[in-house]
Amino acid sequence: MEKAQEKQVSDAHLHTPMYFFLANLSFVDICFTSTTIPKMLMNIQTQSKVITYKGCLSQMYFLILFAGLDVFLLTVMAYDRFVAICHPLHYIVIMNPWLCGLLVLVSWILSILDSVLQTSMVLWLSFCTKIEIPHFFCELNQMNQHACSDNFLNNMVLYFATMLLVGGPLVGILYSYSKIVSTILGISSAQGKYKAFSTCSSHLSVVSLFYCMSLGVYLRSAAPQSSHTSAVASVMYTVVTPMLNPFIYSLRNRDIKRVLMRIFGMLSLKGTIILVLKRC
Q: Helices (DSSP H) in 35-148: which residue ranges?
A: 37-46, 53-86, 91-94, 97-123, 140-145
Average pLDDT, stretch 136-140? Answer: 83
pLDDT above 90 coverage of the chain, percent: 31
Residue of higher predicted confidence among 181 and 196: 181
Asked if 223 contacts 141 with a C-beta cutoff of 8 angstroms, the reply is no
Q: How confident is the model at residue 1 (pLDDT cuts 50, 70, 90)?
A: very low
pLDDT number for residue 70: 93
Q: How do residues 10-45 score in pLDDT, each as one tens digit?
A: 444 445 888 899 889 989 999 998 998 888 888 888
146 closest CA partner among 56, 66, 264, 73: 56
- Give CA–CA dist 137/51, Å, rounded: 9
Q: Which residues contact 257 (CB under 8 A, 6 or more apart)?
A: 250, 251
Q: Give the least confident one: 8-22, 89-103, 134-148, 254-268.
A: 254-268
**Alpha carbon of residue 23 to chain centroid:** 11
Residue of higher predicted confidence among 116 and 5: 116
Residue 5 has pLDDT above 50, yes or no: no
List, in order of start, the domains of the chain with CATH numbers: 14-247 (1.20.1070.10)
pLDDT number for residue 235: 72
Residue 183 has pLDDT above 70, yes or no: yes
